[in-house]
Amino acid sequence: MVTIKDIAQVVGVSPTTVSNVINGKSGRVSADTVARINTAIEELGYVPNMSARSLVSRSSKVIGFVNHIVTDKGSNFMEDPFLSKFIGILEHVLRENGYYLMLRTVETAEQLQAFLHTWDIDGLFLAGIFKDEFFDEISTLKIPIVLVDSYVHHKGICNVGLDDFGGSNSSTKYLIQNGHKKIAFASLHIKDGGVLMERFLGYKAALTEAGIPFDESLVFECGMDLKGTRAIAKTLASHPEITGVVTTADTLAGSIIANLHKLKIKIPEQVSVVGFDDLSICNIIEPPLTSIHQDMDLKGRIAVDFMLQLLEHKKPKQYEVLLHTSITERNSVRTIS
């Protein structure tokens, strides 16, 4: 079996240098040396023994990402382009730091405990967690935990999120500033104490500030299935007085627009639509979608930085970070004079 010492001897460097390169800590190693080490690894057929390394270092180098969002049968949470992109960012940054990412969906606290007993996990990322029994179980765990997009607060647990209220508030104000007064709000199912509730409250606050009465009949909740967005599109088509729609996700906005196209409703001439997240799909929706932008790369790097500090038993200067949003203007909103 090829060892790190074998690679070090072939390349003419210390075993420590080889170990650093293998674990993604090559900042102080020249590019030429990194290349020669990687060539030797490939030519000698070196395979790291993770079990042995775990026993020596008492670290598995594996970080778990637990999904607690239970999707309908026949679908999976990775179909959400927002989550797919964000998880990809986490994996990339963790890999840069010598760690591995493991994904797991768990529905109950019992399933979470079973997962942790089965796998030697160094830390956990959790997204969209609410203050409930599941979180009560999480808060008792003795491993580093970083929450993402969660409106729960607990001493010692890091949390990186977004100004969801401000983002939705800005998108609503943007429509108002462009002359829209009858503005609908389209969202996935809203749950108290979460991201979507904050975005709903931001929408309501913008209406109030502009002196526009809140109309509950203009609030649409649905799943990500076509059936739900088709119903929203039909309602919009039959109520031409509704000239603008604020949404809580680009994918939701795109699906509504697609269904409006089928009903021969022109975007933005008849209905203006604003998305949320500013994913790459905004540029292939027709017309290109105006959306609330969030820096997902920064969010991912902050989440990993929190995790690395906790793994190294360092006390973060702050345990919660709330990132700001901005609006990316494209062609899905018209100005009403």
312: domain CATH number is 3.40.50.2300
- For 39, the domain range is 4-48
**Percent of the chain beyond pLDDT 70?**
94
- Residue 50 has a pLDDT of 52
Tokens 């969010």 correspond to what residue?
Answer: 299
313 domain residue, yes or no:
yes
- Residue 227 has a pLDDT of 82
* Per-residue confidence band for 251, with pLDDT thresholds at 50, 70 and 90: very high
* Residue 35 and residue 14 share a domain: yes
116 domain residue, yes or no:
yes
Q: What mean pLDDT comes out for the span 314-323? A: 94
Which has the higher per-residue pLDDT, 70 or 21? 21
Tokens of 268: 């933005």
* Residue 311 and residue 269 share a domain: no
Distance CA 332, CA 275 (A): 9
9-27 confidence digits (pLDDT tens): 999 999 888 888 877 676 7
335 domain residue, yes or no:
no
* Residue 143 and residue 66 share a domain: yes
* Residue 156 and residue 116 share a domain: yes
How far is residue 56 CA from its own chain's centroid? Answer: 34
Tokens of 318: 């702050």
- Residue 80 has a pLDDT of 84
- Residue 126 has a pLDDT of 94
Sheet containing 244-247: order of strands: 219-221, 183-187, 244-247, 272-277, 290-293, 326-328
Backbone angles phi, psi at 104, to 5 degrees: -155, 135
Contact 169, 215 (CB under 8 A): no
158 domain residue, yes or no:
yes
Q: What are residue 187's DSSP bridge partners?
A: 221
Q: Among residues 251, 274, 69, 256, which one has the least CA distance to residue 167?
A: 274
18 domain residue, yes or no:
yes
Contact 21, 38 (CB under 8 A): yes
331 domain residue, yes or no:
no
For the cut 50, the answer to whether the pLDDT of residue 74 exceeds it is yes
* Least confident interval from 3-17, 73-87, 117-131, 173-187: 73-87
Q: Among residues 153, 95, 147, 162, which one has the least CA distance to residue 303?
A: 147
Mean pLDDT of the chain: 91
271-311 confidence digits (pLDDT tens): 999 999 999 999 999 999 999 999 999 999 999 999 999 99
**Secondary structure tally for the chain: helices H, strands E:** 12, 12
Strands 244-247 and 219-221 come out as unpaired
- DSSP label of 177: H
Contact 122, 94 (CB under 8 A): no
* Residue 209 and residue 289 share a domain: yes
- Residue 55 has a pLDDT of 44
55 domain residue, yes or no:
no
Contact 83, 77 (CB under 8 A): yes
* Residue 80 and residue 24 share a domain: no
pTM given for the model: 0.82
* Residue 290 and residue 178 share a domain: yes
Among 40-49, 115-124, 245-254, top mean pLDDT goes to 245-254
Q: What mean pLDDT comes out for the span 244-271? A: 97
* Per-residue confidence band for 128, with pLDDT thresholds at 50, 70 and 90: confident
* Residue 319 and residue 171 share a domain: no
- Residue 48 has a pLDDT of 66
Please list, in sequence order, all residues whose beta carbon lies within 8 angstroms of the beta carbon of residue 325, skipping any fewer than 6 positions away. 162, 163, 166, 167, 170, 292, 293, 294
For the cut 80, the answer to whether the pLDDT of residue 97 exceeds it is yes
* Residue 170 and residue 148 share a domain: no
3-state secondary structure of 221: strand
332 domain residue, yes or no:
no
Q: Among residues 311, 321, 322, 320, which one has the least CA distance to residue 154?
A: 320
* Residue 263 and residue 236 share a domain: yes
* Number of domain units in the chain: 3
* Residue 80 and residue 27 share a domain: no
For the cut 50, the answer to whether the pLDDT of residue 54 exceeds it is no
Q: Among residues 138, 121, 144, which one has the least CA distance to residue 60?
A: 121
* Residue 260 and residue 175 share a domain: yes
